[in-house]
A = this chain, B = another copy of it.
Amino acid sequence: MNEFKKIERIKKILGKNSSDVLIGIGDDAAVVRWKSSKLVVTTDCQVEDVHFSLRYAEPEEIGHRLLAVSLSDIAAMGAVPKVAVVSLAFPESIDDKFIEKMYRGMSALARKTGVEIVGGNLSASTAKAFFDLTLMAELDGQPMTRGGAKAGDFILCSGALGDSAAGFAALQKWGKAAKKKFPALTKAHLKPTPSAEFGVKLGKWATSCLDVSDGLSSELNHLSKAAKLAFVVQEALIPVSASAQKLGDVLGKDPLQWALHGGENYGLLFTVPREHLEKVQRLASECRVALHAIGMVAKRKPEVLLQNDAKTTRLLPKGWTHF
C-alpha cells in the first residue's frame, strides 16, 4: 500500500473530525479553531527496544501508550487535551495491518479523552520503529507547575506506584505469557490509564504537580528542588499493590524499589494545602482515581527524606534516565 492509501486508511480509522477541526489530515498542516488564550503542548515518543518490544507489545497497546504518556503530561499541567499529531517512522517489517491496529488503539483512547488526531507524518526507517506524538491542550486558568509547593502541604499521588516497573519486570521474565500471570501489572506497563480528567479538575487545588514518568524518587526531588523545600515521605504510606507484592515474592525482589524508582508510571504526584485535602479526595473518588497521601512538605533545605519507624534517610533520584 502506498503512502497516500495508508493515509486514507488511517483517516477512516480515526473517523470524522469535529467542527473545530477546520482542516484535518491530508493538507500541508492541520488548522484547528482555538478557543483558549493558552496553548499547552507536549511531545513524547515510543522507540522500539527502548520503550517497547515487539516480543510482547501488541500494536494496539503501543498506539494507546503513545497517546497515554502525553495525556499524562497534559494532566499534570491541569489542561484540557484537544488535538494531536503523530509522526511514525518504521521499517518494512512493520506492515499495514500493524499500523492500522496501532491507530485503533490510539483512536480508542483519543475518543475516551476528547482528543482528535488531526495530522501526522509517515516515514520509512532502515532499522527500528520510532513513534512520536505531540499533544496540544487548551488552558484557561493557571497551569500546575513544579515549583509551587508550600511548607505544610500534603504530598499525594494517584494510582499505585511501581506497577508499571513490576509489569516490565514480568514481561522481561516471561514475555507475552506474563500478561496472563500478572494482568494488572502488565496492563499498567503496556496500557497505562492517564489521569486526564482528574488533572484538569485538580488544577484548582494543587500547589505543584507532575506526572511520575521518571520514577517517584526522581520526581520528588524535582518538586523539592523547584519549591526550595524539604519533601518528607513516609515509607509505610507508599502504595504498593498486592500484585506487585506477589510478583516481588516470586522474583525475590523488594516491590518498594519499583515504587520508589520505577519509571513509566503515569499517575500524578502533587502537593495540596491541608484545607483543600478533602475537596481533592472527593474529586479523586468522582474521577475513580486511587489517591494516596504519602508525606508532607517541610520548611527545611530542599531534599527528599524517607522515614520509617527505624530511621530517616535521604531519598536520592534513581529513576529512569535515558543517558
Contacts and interface: CB of A to CB of B under 8 A. Distances in A.
Interface of A: 1-4, 6, 22-23, 26-45, 47-51, 72-74, 76-77, 79, 83, 85-87, 89, 118-128, 130, 132, 134, 136-137, 139, 143, 145-146, 210-211, 321-323
Given A27-B210, A50-B125, A126-B128, A39 B32 contact: yes
A6 B23 CA distance: 37
10 contacts: A3-B322, A28-B72, A29-B40, A31-B39, A31-B40, A33-B37, A41-B118, A43-B86, A122-B323, A125-B128
A321 B51 CA distance: 28
Contacts of A50: 89, 123-126
User: What are the 7 A-B residue pairs with the smallest beta carbon separation, nearest first?
Assistant: A127-B127, A29-B42, A134-B134, A130-B130, A28-B76, A28-B73, A43-B85
A89 B130 contact: yes
A255 to B, nearest CB: 26
A40 B50 CA distance: 31
A132 B45 contact: yes
A228 to B, nearest CB: 15
Nearest to A317: B4
A29 B213 CA distance: 13
B44 A87 contact: yes
Nearest to A96: B323
Contacts of A145: 23, 27
A323 B118 CA distance: 21
